[in-house]
Structure 1
């Protein structure tokens, strides 16, 4: 089913830069990625695909992605000086471009991020216009979330009833699930659940999920615009 857009999506966000697709959306992809990583990175390999690969310098997407990795919001005036701020903050980055990736959305970015202690994450995001984004892959697991809602990412053993159990735990917080996507790399292998929710979870609920023996990792991403 096609994704629906609101009048606010069409108007676009308050932002710095010439294009919501090439600046605001790019900033949001990076801000979502550092929350998946769990920290600000010290190094980043940034790959622009298709339209982005041809225009990222002229449209300021290079500064926007670096600004997002520094956790600047879309309307932060520091975006234009993001390269200088990255140097001050010890963030090293490399840009790559792939101009003809036929299977990918025209405005796609892949981020390979590493923290000072060696933690890594690979995140692929799409900028869909009006500042709207979709995170379509995390560490090789297909996903589809916008980061405009509260998002829960759970790595768990592929055990019977795990999806229903986690949904019931979330329900105890009076939290409504907006979308859920589950992917795994093979039968009885690690499964990753991506759950978007209309409201946030309590810290005690997250702690409970983390102590379950069959749950391996829990990432919680509040709405990135808050």
Structure 2
């Protein structure tokens, strides 16, 4: 048994599942879009939908998309901070299908772009990111994560991997738009590549996002 099992994680809030886990999912979304969104919709599933007010899940989710960490005492002031940052937010009770009961789908709007993150809080503050922009994945948030929108052409993955000179822990790849010839590549990495900007030189790369691990 580890120390975490005895004393629990360092956090602000009443529940590691409903508060800490929710914040970590939302913070992943914040890091994905590299800042605070203009507007966000939280689609709450299962027990999240039933108890989000009582367990502080609402404040945790808002705090996460504002970029707060789990030990930040301003989590309790999330609504005030949202107003200060002109963040529009909506909580929607929703049936997301056959998923973990502590699941939330976060739809973020920033300028003219929309991104979606779906994640589950699986206990003890641990999370799983299960979808990014409709692509199924199984990310823990413990790894550095690189998300690439690329052209669906022969050799695209080979060219991308030739730039990433670090160990790849997990890889997810899916065609997202056959008509436009696009795919989404998600890589979990042991460390941050030192030459990410070189991806811009690849003809197959349309855009990319990097989400660093908080560990």
Q: TM-score, normalised by structure 2?
A: 0.91
Name the counterpart of 2:54: 58
Equivalences for residues 32-43 of structure 1 within 5 A: 32-43=28-39
Cα contact 1:206–1:218 (8 A) shared by 2? no
Distance 1:89 1:54, change over 3 A: same
Offset of residue 144 of structure 1: 2.0
Gapped regions of structure 2 (runs ≥ 5): none
1:127 aligns with 2:117: no
Offset of residue 186 of structure 1: 6.0
1:25 aligns with 2:21: yes
1:56-103, Cα deviation, whole Å (9 max, x unpaired): 1111000000011111100100111111111111111111112x5441
Query: What's the C-alpha RMSD, in Å, of the aligned pairs?
Result: 1.9
Distance 1:102 1:42, change over 3 A: closer
1:208 aligns with 2:198: yes
Cα contact 1:9–1:132 (8 A) shared by 2? no
Name the counterpart of 2:144: 150
1:141 aligns with 2:135: yes
1:190 aligns with 2:182: yes
For the residue of structure 2 that corresponds to 1:195, the secondary structure is strand
Distance 1:27 1:201, change over 3 A: same
Name the counterpart of 1:220: 210
Equivalences for residues 139-178 of structure 1 within 5 A: 139-171=133-165, 175-178=166-169
Cα contact 2:31–2:67 (8 A) shared by 1? no
Q: How far apart in 2 are the matches of 1:214 and 1:108? A: 33
Q: How far apart in 1 are the matches of 2:32 and 2:168? A: 19
Gapped regions of structure 1 (runs ≥ 5): 1-5
Which runs of 4 or more aligned residues in structure 1 lie more than 4 Å from their structure 2 counterparts after TM superposition?
A: 6-12
Q: TM-score, normalised by structure 1?
A: 0.87
Distance 1:118 1:185, change over 3 A: closer
Cα contact 1:16–1:24 (8 A) shared by 2? yes
Offset of residue 213 of structure 1: 1.4
Q: How far apart in 2 are the matches of 1:221 and 1:45? A: 21
Offset of residue 25 of structure 1: 0.9
Cα contact 1:56–1:62 (8 A) shared by 2? yes
